[in-house]
Structure 1
């Protein structure tokens, strides 16, 4: 593997001093880029795009060819894991992901098994290796997985949900069955992320997209404790380097201190919390990632620059900040507005550090 030429993102995650605030964007390879849409059309479907290591590599690198981002993130989907468990993932036009066989009865839940990352998920591991080679030391590569709770939501509901009726009914009538799903999924995620690290991922992220729909007690019982187990089970070093990890619970600002205490290196924040207040709450225990509202990218260049500076001013010229959106970039985002954001973050954060 080629030596890493830009390790700013990794150093920021480990709370080491950097010359500027590194930046990458959740869902940075996506439908807002015309070149992505062309590759996806060539692939035939989203799933075929995910399952082709060469095409996944191609789209992973597309945003880096447009913008001077400080990290690449593996192009894949969080639902590859439950798909490999045999639930039958498919994408209905205009409806998002769905499962043919959601977990609705005890027999199906008890039959659940963790997939082999070098078997059913080999295409993801191969994509990581191919992307890492193609990056050639340009920037670090981030691997990722969904959290056990978020994956379980899809596995039980069968699709995205407004009220999470099926999984919450399971939680409050048969918590033993839900814990079984979460145990198996935790085992699967640990193996999956460690396989990505072995294949070349230089950092990993756990997306707990639906953790925020839980009550205070339920979040600790059904989400946080399982992410803590994953963090403890992750490979911590590869290629002679520390492999940092990030945990992101959308809507998780209420539990910030608890998340920071599970042993992770970085905590992702959505846009509903002030990042300066978050830094005061966790001190130097973890790095923070975030947290501008993705909808700001629909604004004028002046508004985008002003809001980016607001986030940077709030965090201050301290170590341990990775700039990002508070959730995934919208498919309707004008690419030129992303350029404004990236340039503002890089230029203004340099000024902040030089004047500190």
Structure 2
């Protein structure tokens, strides 16, 4: 639990918000067009991003509020009012770092843990508790600075990785095609797995509350490896912790609560459970029809749930006329599905995307979703 005192900032501490479409859609309210942002919109596909990263280590950027703010603002400055949201530049793996693990970002390979968790006794290497203000305050400072520099143009997302996804990296030692080591933990060491997932959940709740205290206006929880789990295992090792995060973050924030969305990539079977987990929005990958997603969500709950997504990122490698056609199809599918839609990709931008392809996507969303 966090013990260092954090100053709680409110909207009165920042410039007035001029574009609230994203927040309204996340709450299920009607909007004049579908608000749009994209995952990894501040990333390696932008030449201005690559130029800055050539001079600075990845995690040094994350830990330097001025650099993180500058990268967060790059797509906002490039695409102007075509984007309806920004997301703070950081990484989900700062949380394992706060727990005492070493995480390296290896060029061409991605995240690497030199000493992953191999057996339950390795949990003793982790911090028994984490003061998120002391350990992760640099991200809170980056959020506050970015919110000031956004000058009310668009809302700012805070985020974190889901407990299962973080555990998968911490045990596996990095990315994986099978996550066999991490999944073996679930079957071989279920009690230790629950202990680790619970400890991560405790930290993540503090972390998300701290992000809102610092100025984040909406939150997203990324369960990037949810699709590696069977329905039974997701029900045991992911969903309860996702539910706890939503419930306890809202409870801690009270009347300062902000909209929360969840992205469980590849876990189609999880939609009914996610609809009942306490989130305002569910992000979809490109392998599920918006109409079917809305049907499942509506059958599971009477609560208003926004759907987010879900164009295949690889469509952005196509000719511009194909991008326009596929984006219009996506928008029409969400219109048919009904309810609130936040336009996005079904996953993040890729390093070799052409920035102008994203512009075509953003322009087409605006045109196709505008109310006549």
Q: Normalised by the size of structure 2, how large is the TM-score?
A: 0.91
Q: How does 1:191-230 map to 2 (within 5 A)?
A: 191-230=206-245
Structure 2's unaligned 5+ residue stretches are: 1-13
- Residue 317 of structure 2: which of 283, 298, 303 is its match? 298
Kept after mapping to 2: 8 A contact 1:197/1:235: no
Runs ≥4 residues deviating over 4 A = 236-242
Q: 1:319 to 1:163 in 2, by over 3 A?
A: closer
Cα distance per residue 1:51-80 (max 9 Å; x no partner):
111000000000011112000001000000
**Number of aligned pairs?**
351
Secondary structure in structure 2 of the residue aligned to 1:87:
coil
Kept after mapping to 2: 8 A contact 1:117/1:125: no
- For the residues of structure 1 that align with 2:20 and 2:256, how far apart are their CA atoms? 11
Measured after TM superposition, the shift of residue 189 of structure 1 is 0.5
- For the residues of structure 2 that align with 1:114 and 1:237, how far apart are their CA atoms? 18
Cα distance per residue 1:178-197 (max 9 Å; x no partner):
00100000001000011000
Kept after mapping to 1: 8 A contact 2:209/2:253: no
Q: 1:161 to 1:114 in 2, by over 3 A?
A: farther
Secondary structure in structure 2 of the residue aligned to 1:86:
coil
Kept after mapping to 2: 8 A contact 1:267/1:287: yes
Secondary structure in structure 1 of the residue aligned to 2:344:
strand
What residue is the counterpart of 2:30 in the other structure?
17
- Residue 99 of structure 1: which of 107, 113, 129 is its match? 113
- For the residues of structure 2 that align with 1:236 and 1:330, how far apart are their CA atoms? 36
Secondary structure in structure 2 of the residue aligned to 1:151:
helix
Q: 1:239 to 1:150 in 2, by over 3 A?
A: closer
Cα distance per residue 1:312-340 (max 9 Å; x no partner):
11111744100000001111110111111
Kept after mapping to 2: 8 A contact 1:6/1:137: yes
Matched, 1:160 2:175: yes
Q: How does 1:25-44 map to 2 (within 5 A)?
A: 25-43=38-56
Kept after mapping to 2: 8 A contact 1:72/1:140: yes
Structure 1's unaligned 5+ residue stretches are: none
Q: Normalised by the size of structure 1, how large is the TM-score?
A: 0.95
